[in-house]
Chains A and B, each alone.
Chain A
Amino acid sequence: MQTWSLVSMCVLLGIVVRWGVSLNSYSGAGKPPMFGDYEAQRHWQEVTYNLPLQEWYSNTTENDLNYWGLDYPPLTAYHSLVCAYVAKTINPEWVDLHKSRGYESPAHKLFMRATVLVADLLIYIPAVVLYCLYLTDGSTKKKVCTVFCFLLYPGLILIDYGHFQYNGVSLGFALWGVLALGLGWDALGSLAFCLALNYKQMELYHALPFFCYLLGKSVKLGLMGRGLFLLVRIASTVLVTFALCWLPFLSDPGDAMQVVRRIFPVARGLFEDKVANAWCSLNILIKIRSILSSDSQIYISFACTLLAVLPSCVRLLMKPTFWQFKLALVRGIQLIILPLFLKDGLLVPYAVTSLAFLFFSIYLLSALEHCSEEELRLGAFHKLLFCLPKLDLFYISVSAMAGLSVVTVALVPPTHLPDLFPVLVSSTAFLHFLGTFIYFNIVQFSEPPSRKSQKKND
């Protein structure tokens, strides 16, 4: 069947699933006084529409930062402003300063859900389609399967259309960046990524791979010739993009600093929301919280994060091929560790399952096509874990996660260990992370398959 018809059917199915999920409840529905992320987004529309720009990120009488103060970079604020204009034309009550706090109605829910869908349709979905069609190799069927998996990735759908967020925008921009780099349009790629960065600061996790790849590429082209020219072009693109996004705040350095302080609140500790990372797991063994001060914890975590990513970035610097770049990005995804974990423990297991879904669906897709251990370079991996045969690893991990999901929902934790389940889930997620981390280390540092290196050479 023609590619376009298959792809359009995948997109339509993605839309149906998204809208179906969005008909359910959103975060903080009917839960005063703070409600949830849905109310946060509505509040940002209210703030950006009614207040002058300089006050958006400051604590003033009109703008109480304790009630869902803006803590994303300016592009989110501009997006909220655009939505607010539309909201005002439909029903001014939705963005009335102060009076619209906690506003909930079926029509408003429809509007908010529609904004998420429109943003996805404009930014995320086209990026996914183009990426899968032009930058994945394999038969048409495999490309369409990749589109299908990407678009039906439950984690993103549940968070964006269930809980309520706009992750599709930042991920979409980042994906446009990857797409552009893959096609060799480096300046446009950096532009897209800067937009992603200015939308959500979490994209910083992807920044290192982008930086190392582009730097490595420039170095390879020769710092005295074309390389320098490329470097200058990229640098100026980045600077101009940032300047344009931050322009209204640059007139007063105090404003800009206030924005930075809101975006990077280093006062929050490392343990917020029992985010699955090494710290949480390590804390079971060593009570880190009690040993180190808050500041030291921050510095050490930063250092360790950097150390973890460093090998792949160094490798990328030395060998700036697109294949290495994609691998480094995956490492970045691993390190994000889903700040999208939610306060209500129910969606946590599903987010974890989705993480696995993402990895395994994409890489097992390739396993379906070339089914040799050679290609997957799992040989070395299994020398480490000689006790477990290949496929069982997959089933073990899936059943572990499924079991955890069921247990978290169905059972009540013992009273002396009230956080048992979230901690178990974090630890499991970390174990998976560790496993895939090691796997990708092996993949990245062994010889890439010759077929791929010929295709991906830029």
Chain B
Amino acid sequence: MCAPISCVGPYVLRNIYHSTDFEVHRNWLAITHSLPVSRWYHENTSEWTLDYPPLFAWFELGLSHAARHFDPDMLLVENLNYASPSTVLFQRLSVIFTDLLFIYAARECCRCVQDQKGSRDVLNRPSFVLAVLLLWNFGLLIVDHIHFQYNGFLFGFLLLSVAKHLQRQHLQGALLFSVLLNLKHIYLYVAPAYGVYLLRSYCFTQDNKDGSVSWSSFSPLRLLALGGIVASVCALSFGPFIAMGQLPQVLSRLFPFKRGLCHAYWAPNIWALYNTLDKILATLGVRLKLLQEAGLPRASMTGGLVQEFQHSVLPSVTPSITLVCTLLSILPAVASIWFRPRGARGFLRCLLLCALGSFVFGWHVHEKAILIAILPLSILAVENREDAGIFLVLTTTGHYSLFPLLFTPAELPIKVSLMLLFTIYSFTALRKLYSGRGSLLRPLESVYLLGLVGVAFACEVAFPLSPWQQKLPFLPLLATSVYCSLGVCYSFLRLYASLLRPPGKPKQP
């Protein structure tokens, strides 16, 4: 019943601002429709080159055939920044349509959630709460329907794959994940979780009494099945390009490491804190005459375009360093599900940690990637009290960190109202689910979240009207990044603690 409303809502908002991603996807529609396959990954008339894996390109090709009936002009590659009303309508409708997959996936996840005993009315059942938290997720709504992307569609695959694993249909889950990987390679972040879990819990059909791996129960057949699925999906996607010898070109488009450590707006991860520390030390150093101002590199980290840059005081960070940090951060989680598998929910926890770890330590992370952690966490939040507390902190912080995506004054009432709507619902619904066992949040966490209100007021209202608006225009973005990264890193640590905690308490399988 939430589903129809979640389709109507975006339709009401269709005339609102759309970002450059709109042009990106229009360009890809044009490229896939008008050019032969061999040109797809070489085309660079527009700056928004095709940088998703080939399966997404095939998806855009399919969409372009429908687009022809709305406005054929959008399919001309030369029509840069073409945004006629029919184009906008078609693009918005395509997102709404592909969200149907997300709705289906949410339904599957709700079926996996165990309802507690006792007859509660519909509104208080965990599955209903999960449905609302997924379908009306503030972050997804503004990223997909206002900012414009197809994340609902992609998250549909992710959640459906998770649901299949929770339902012990591992081959289907693996298939869905391979498709997802070939649609958007950002999900490589969570591939280790899949790999280790499937290897350990699916390929080894039995465990020893003490929970350790029973080497004799290895099933080569299952491994072959998994390998076959992954290989065939990749072949379907990359096949034509390998045949044409374009694989290096495709890979260079997919992994453009020339971009800087941080996006123009710093995602709230550890590097935002690192950059800020660097800046503070640099400023202090200049003030205390320990450093020469002329010797410092130009402050370009906060520029609008993505560039390479150097840190002034602290050592510079290269892609390899971030890779090593990321791998180190997810190693304990992955090791944990190898040595102490805890079934599908343990896998879900590990997936979350991989997603969060890559977010916190990754190279050129987009703030939208926080949704990869928030959405699966909703499933755990409606079942487990401690996870609900972590969810509230991570979600509120993560959603607030998306505010800078919508920066025009016309969107301010909508983003504030929607954010408040979702936050009030998540707090009250989860509190009701776990009523009678004390507060979900620790005092410090409550103070932190209240501080978010202050930051929001300062950045959206007070700062634009103050005299510093001209001199330091990046200050609100900086403040948002830094404040939110504290919350994100904290949630990361708490999730780790809950995974690595010795199993004294009986956990659900």
Contact = CB atoms under 8 A, between A and B. Distances in A.
Contacts of A2: 428
B424 A8 contact: yes
B413 A19 contact: yes
Contacts of B123: 1
Contacts of B16: 20, 23
B243 interface: no
Contact of A5 (B124, B409, B417, B428): B428
A223 interface: no
B313 interface: no
B421 A110 contact: no
Given A110-B409, A117-B413, A17 B12 contact: yes
B447 interface: no
A20 B12 contact: yes
A114 to B, nearest CB: 8
A117 B413 CA distance: 10
Interface residues of B, number: 20
A20 B421 contact: no
B428 A1 contact: yes
A189 to B, nearest CB: 31
B284 interface: no
A16 interface: yes
Contacts of B432: 1
A13 B421 contact: yes
A162 to B, nearest CB: 12
Nearest to B17: A23
Contacts of B274: none
A117 B124 CA distance: 33
B424 A5 contact: yes
Contacts of A106: 410
B20 to A, nearest CB: 19
Contact of B413 (A1, A8, A13, A15): A15
B1 to A, nearest CB: 15
A19 B17 CA distance: 13
B13 interface: yes
A19 B13 CA distance: 9
Interface in A1-53: 1-2, 5, 8-9, 12-13, 15-17, 19-21, 23-24
Contacts of B420: 8, 12
A298 B427 CA distance: 59
A5 B424 CA distance: 7
B418 A110 contact: no
Contact of A1 (B13, B418, B429): B429
Contacts of B427: 5
B15 A12 contact: no
Contacts of A16: 413-414, 417-418, 421
Contacts of A8: 420, 424
Nearest to A24: B15
A106 B429 CA distance: 39
Main secondary structure of the interface of A (DSSP, over half): helix
A139 B462 CA distance: 42
Contacts of A23: 13, 15-16, 410
A374 to B, nearest CB: 27
Residue of B13, B123, B413, B420 most packed against chain A (CB within 10 A)? B413
Contacts of B417: 12-13, 15-16, 19
Contact of A110 (B124, B410, B425): B410
Contacts of B410: 23, 106, 110
A88 to B, nearest CB: 17
Interface residues of A, number: 18
B108 to A, nearest CB: 26
B425 A9 contact: yes
A49 B477 CA distance: 39
A5 B429 CA distance: 10
B414 A20 contact: yes
B27 to A, nearest CB: 25
B453 to A, nearest CB: 15
Nearest to A111: B409
A252 to B, nearest CB: 42
B424 A21 contact: no
Contacts of B413: 15-16, 19, 117
A17 B414 CA distance: 9
Interface in A105-142: 106, 110, 117
Residue of B16, B425, B429 most packed against chain A (CB within 10 A)? B425
Contacts of B418: 12, 16
Contacts of A21: 12
A9 B12 contact: no
A19 B424 contact: no
Contacts of B15: 23-24
A299 B12 CA distance: 45
Contacts of A20: 12-13, 16, 414
A108 to B, nearest CB: 12
A6 B205 CA distance: 48
A350 to B, nearest CB: 14
Contacts of A117: 413
A313 to B, nearest CB: 41
A448 B454 CA distance: 52
B411 to A, nearest CB: 9
Interface string B136-175: 0000000000000000000000000000000000000000
A9 B425 CA distance: 8
A315 B418 CA distance: 47
A12 B421 contact: yes
A427 to B, nearest CB: 31
Interface in B5-43: 12-13, 15-16
A7 B478 CA distance: 35
A8 B418 CA distance: 12
Residue of B13, B410, B418, B420 most packed against chain A (CB within 10 A)? B410
A159 B418 CA distance: 23
Interface in B424-459: 424-425, 427-429, 432
Nearest to B16: A23
18 contacts: A1-B123, A5-B425, A5-B427, A8-B420, A9-B424, A12-B424, A13-B417, A13-B421, A15-B417, A16-B413, A16-B418, A17-B12, A19-B414, A20-B13, A20-B16, A23-B410, A24-B15, A110-B410
Given A1-B123, A9-B421, 8 more contacts: A1-B432, A8-B420, A12-B421, A16-B413, A19-B413, A19-B414, A23-B15, A23-B16
Nearest first, the 4 closest Cβ-Cβ pairs linking A and B are: A20-B12, A5-B428, A12-B421, A15-B417
